[in-house]
């Protein structure tokens, strides 16, 4: 950051404890409080594309509430993400609940406005439908994207109940629109149900390779991360994390839970080894607080967003500017 745009970090005052005041993500400044944002956290309170349990429209508020205890120093990366880049909470996008196509168009428009201003987005969902317009906005700036998709499910399905836009289709639509680099996309943690083997063929045509959840019991985090890094190469990267990639023991608050998933430790061990990738955008989706217990899923989602913010902050600075 330069003198014209000094970095404003987390709220720091001895008069107001972390559990009080307005719950911006990680107590970050609001977008209107700064002249320019390198990274913006945005909420997308939309769940009209869900196919099972609804409620992810309330995810952004729940994630923000559970992000209050996040601190400014990242011990693994030895960095201060909120000092090395200007990070803000840009509030929630204006999205209506009744028309999926109109909602996708509205998300696209608002995401492009941020991208055009040079701001990278970490979105808090909301269901996985929101990934499609976010990919459109990122690809408009950076070209076809390598996607790292942490999810129990493929999300490359086609039509369901007459809908082409729903939370199981964003990456199929993105591939059809030319938003993805088809040689550099990777699923991680996949284990969900499949109706027919042809769906796996469709998934390969959409550009994805699969690292299944059971591989986390057989391989090291280093091995899995190395495979991901090789797969995405030097392409601009978008990371999409469906919180149901975690086992329901670690993330019960989601709409389509699947057993035999990752632990939070396994997820973070891999995420933290993705340092050095050119991450141009990210999301954390499918947080449905009505099914959460004691904030378990909210905490997992908030800390996942923190990990993604940290990686993007590192991608936007040169190594010698990282504060240790």
The model's pTM is: 0.95
**pLDDT digit string (tens) for the chain, length 324 residues:** 555 667 888 876 557 888 888 899 999 999 999 999 999 999 999 999 999 999 999 999 999 999 999 999 999 999 999 999 999 999 999 999 999 999 999 999 999 999 999 999 999 999 999 999 999 999 999 999 999 999 999 999 999 999 999 999 999 999 999 999 999 999 999 998 899 999 999 999 999 999 999 999 999 999 999 999 999 999 999 999 999 999 999 999 999 999 999 999 999 999 999 999 999 999 999 999 999 999 999 999 999 999 999 999 999 875 444 444
pLDDT in tens, 283-295: 999 999 999 999 9
**What are the distances in angstroms from CA 236 to CA 140, 164, 269, 280?**
12, 26, 21, 6
Residues 6+ apart with CB under 8 A from 166: 49, 50, 51, 100, 129, 160
Partners of 305 in the β-ladder: none
Domains of the chain by start residue, with CATH: 25-321 (3.40.800.10)
Q: Given strand 146-150, what is the order of strands in its sheet?
A: 87-92, 39-44, 120-125, 279-285, 237-242, 146-150, 185-190, 208-212
pLDDT at 221: 98
Lookup: tokens for 215: 């591989």
pLDDT in tens, 206-246: 999 999 999 999 999 999 999 999 999 999 999 999 999 99
Lookup: tokens for 68: 């209050």
**In this structure, how many other beta carbons lie within 10 angstroms of the beta carbon of residue 222?**
11
Question: Which of 214, 207, 217, 162 lies closest to 187 in space, CA to CA?
Answer: 207
* Per-residue 3-state assignment (H helix, E strand, C coil) for the chain: CCCCCCCCCCCCCCCCCCCCCCCCHHHCCEHHHCCCCCEEEEEECCCCCCCCCCCHHHHHHHHHHCCCCCCCCECCCCECHHHHCCEEEEEECCCCCCCHHHHHHHHHHHHHHHHHCCCEEEEEECCHHHHHHHHHHHHHHHCCEEEEEECCCCCCCCCECCECCCCCCHHHHHHHCCCECCCCEEEEEECCCCCCCHHHHHHHHCCEEEEEHHHHHCCCHHHHHHHHHHHHCCCCEEEEEEHHHECCCCCCCCCCCCCCCECHHHHHHHHHHHCCCCEEEEEEECCCHHHCCCCHHHHHHHHHHHHHHHHHHHHCCCHHHCCC
Residues 6+ apart with CB under 8 A from 38: 1, 85, 86, 87, 118, 119, 120, 313, 316
């Amino acid at each position: 950051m330069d003198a014209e745009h000094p970095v404003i970090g987390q709220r720091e005052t001895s008069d107001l404890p972390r559990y009080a005041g307005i719950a911006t993500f990680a107590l970050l400044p609001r977008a209107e409080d700064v002249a320019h944002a390198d990274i913006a956290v945005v909420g997308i309170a939309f769940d009209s594309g869900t196919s099972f349990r609804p409620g992810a429209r309330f995810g952004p508020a729940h994630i923000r509430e559970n992000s209050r205890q996040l601190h400014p120093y990242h011990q693994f990366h030895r960095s201060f993400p909120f000092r090395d880049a200007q990070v803000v909470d840009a509030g929630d996008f204006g999205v209506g609940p009744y028309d999926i196509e109109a909602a996708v168009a509205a998300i696209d428009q608002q995401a492009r406005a941020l991208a055009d201003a040079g701001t990278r987005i970490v979105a808090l969902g909301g269901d996985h439908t929101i990934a499609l317009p976010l990919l459109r906005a990122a690809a408009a700036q950076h070209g076809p994207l390598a996607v790292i998709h942490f999810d129990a499910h493929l999300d490359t399905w086609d039509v369901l109940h007459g809908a082409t836009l729903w939370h199981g289709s964003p990456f199929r639509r993105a591939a059809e629109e030319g938003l993805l680099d088809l040689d550099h996309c990777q699923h991680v943690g996949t284990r969900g149900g499949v109706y027919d083997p042809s769906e796996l063929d469709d998934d390969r045509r959409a550009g994805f390779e699969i690292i299944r959840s059971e591989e986390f019991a057989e391989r090291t985090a280093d091995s899995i991360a190395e495979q991901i890094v090789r797969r995405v190469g030097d392409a601009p990267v978008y990371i999409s994390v469906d919180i149901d990639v975690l086992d329901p023991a670690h993330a019960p608050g989601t709409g389509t839970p699947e057993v035999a998933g990752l632990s939070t430790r396994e997820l973070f061990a891999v995420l933290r080894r993705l340092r050095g990738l050119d991450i141009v955008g990210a999301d954390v989706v499918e947080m449905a607080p009505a099914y959460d217990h004691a904030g378990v899923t909210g905490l997992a989602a908030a800390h996942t967003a923190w990990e993604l913010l940290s990686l993007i902050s590192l991608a936007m600075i040169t190594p010698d500017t990282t504060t240790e």
